Structure 1
Amino acid sequence: MNGTHYSGEIADLLGRVRRRPTADWPWHPGEPVPGRLPVKQCWGWLFAPDGRVLTLVNPRDGVVGLPGGSLEPQDGGDPAVALAREAAEEAQALIDGPCHVGYLYDRVGATNGGRECARVRMAAALRSVGPTAPDPASGRHYRRLLVAPGLAVELLGWGASGIRQARAAIQAAVALFQVPGRASEVIEELPAGGCEFRPCV
């Protein structure tokens, strides 16, 4: 398929996208988090069977994100548990097989009281999404878009570091979930009532 395709409604939504400033956090692909660094956040590249990933758009302010967030006490210090919980809360998504693809070193530690920390990135298979609902933690009601990983980087505003993260996630997803290395270029909003995907195994 040539070019990016999407509906007029999605075009309007994307026209209001606001990108966060790019943080200068060094990317460590494939490396485990050193024991001295606490893991404070985990975000996930959640892959549909056709290689697209789930992105969340807050229609109130246009900010785009991947599913994920801060580790909470109930996560037991496990980023994979945190990702599964956050994906369910933010996107009503069920995931499978989350795997570590690297981490960002946050020397400033804004989420850790000014002390250095790690922000983990994972890849996982997207199995289903339920009926759309507000995030219980923030009240945000996200729009759920499937997009090619490269476009996700553009929407996120993550620059060169985001491209490297996406490549690491794609490599893991191709190996573990048998998704194609080149994703569909169609931008698709997932149904408000939810949907299921065939198992990515």
Structure 2
Amino acid sequence: MSRIEYSAEIAELLGKVRRRPTAGWPWRPAERVPDGLPVKQSWGWLFAPDGRVLTLVNPRDGIVSLPGGSLEPEDAGDPASALAREAAEEAQALIGTPHYLGYLYDRVGSANGGHECARVRMAAALRAVGPSAPDPASGRHYRRLLVAPGLAVELLGWGAPGLRQARAAVSAGVRWLGVPAAANETIEELPDEGCEVFPGAVFPGVVHLGGAAAQPGGAQPGAAHSGAVGPGAVNPGAVRPSSVHPGTAHPGASYRGAGATRPGGE
């Protein structure tokens, strides 16, 4: 097993990580959300070109999360729009077109007033990040790490179900984004000033980032990645050609489907 490398600053941050108990929500890979089951959350596996994913750590309480959050009225019921908005708010991130992976069935509905709901998971390219800033909705100021998907699951505390979800995300990343199946295992923090990560078209829906306008055809949220390796620099690896245009969703990307059936339980 290769040695996982990271800086002393990241080691100190990882020492604060506190894993939350797993909720036990069943993972429904590639299944469409049934009609009548409300989607209340959308989280994303956001890939760098070398296969690592954006992982957020709250240094105040040690909680680790993937970018994403609850659907709001402005998302018009679209999990992809919710993911793009939440990634911008939480991580000052711009993303490519999200690809639907599946959903978690929340029978208790902690995000839906005690009623059952779906928690959608998606995969997308991490195009760029702007200057680090607190989430305007929660006030949390996350540290932004690039981490191999398997290690992200460990930090999240998701166990075997999380590994199954990560495998689905990696499979989508390999197929639709051209990332390698075996990710770089170095843990790196994205620079506070922002940088470009995975050049390409930005998913429409985010109209500003770090105070600057973001155009759907490209992103300039901060200093472009220079390719240097060292403190404050990010080296996500060589950009690999995508198997589809970054702004084109793959066939069957919809999260709803006429053939979907209501989950019967765990």
Query: Please, what TM-score do these two structures have when normalized by structure 1?
Result: 0.98
User: TM-score, normalising length from structure 2?
Assistant: 0.74
- Asked if structure 1 preserves the Cα contact closer than 8 Å seen for 2:133 and 2:141, the reply is yes
Q: Which residue of structure 2 lines up, in the alignment, with residue 156 of structure 1?
A: 156
* Alignment partners' CA distance in 2, 1:125 and 1:198: 7
CA distance in 1 between counterparts of 2:57 and 2:90 reads: 11
Q: What code does the residue aligned with 2:175 have?
A: A
The alignment status of 1:116 with 2:113, answered yes or no, reads no
Deviations 1:122-173 (A, max 9, x none): 0000000000000000000000000000000000001111000000000001
Which structure carries more strand by proportion? 1
Check whether the contact 2:125–2:177 (CA below 8 A) recurs between aligned residues.
yes
Alignment correspondent of 2:147 = 147
Secondary structure, in 3 states, of the residue corresponding to 1:2? coil
One-letter identity of the residue aligned with 2:140:
R
Give the secondary structure class of the aligned counterpart of 1:184.
coil
| RMSD (Å) for aligned C-alpha atoms | 1.0
Residue 69 of structure 1 pairs with residue 87 of structure 2: no
The Cα of 1:198 is off from its aligned counterpart by 3.6
Amino acid at match of 2:73: P
- Determine whether 1:178 maps to 2:178: yes
Secondary structure, in 3 states, of the residue corresponding to 1:135? coil
Aligned to 2:92: 92
CA contact (8 A) 2:6 2:187 kept: yes
Q: Quick one: distance in 2 between partners of 1:16 and 1:148?
A: 19
How many Å separate the matches in 2 of 1:72 and 1:56? 21
Structure-1 separation of matches of 2:189 and 2:143? 7
In structure 2, C-alpha distance between the alignment counterparts of 1:146 and 1:68, rounded to whole Å: 16
Give the C-alpha shift of residue 2 in structure 1. 2.3
Residue aligned with 2:96, SS: strand
Percent of aligned pairs sharing the same letter: 76
- 2:26, 2:42 → 1: CA distance? 15
Distance 2:177 2:139 in 1: 32
The correspondence of residues 37-56 of structure 1 with structure 2, limited to 5 A, is 37-56=37-56
Secondary structure of 2:103's match? strand
SS in 2 for 1:40: strand
- Corresponding residue for residue 188 of structure 1: 188
Distance 2:127 2:93 in 1: 7
Match of 1:129 in 2: 129
Question: Could you tell me how far 1:62 is from its partner in structure 2?
Answer: 0.4
Any unmatched runs of 5+ in structure 2? 201-241, 243-266
The structure where helix makes up a greater share of residues is 1
Q: What is the CA deviation profile of residues 80-109 of structure 1, one whole-angstrom value per residue up to 9, with x for unaligned ones?
A: 000000000000000001011010000000
Partner of 2:22, secondary structure, is coil
Corresponding residue SS for 1:146: strand
Structure 1: which 5+ runs fail to align? none
Amino acid at match of 1:162: G
Q: Verify the 8 A CA contact 2:125 2:198 in the aligned structure 1.
A: no
Using CA pairs under 8 Å that are at least 6 residues apart, name the structure with larger relative contact order, 1 or 2: 1
Task: Specify the structure having the higher radius of gyration (Cα).
Answer: 2
- Cα deviation, residue 36, structure 1: 1.9
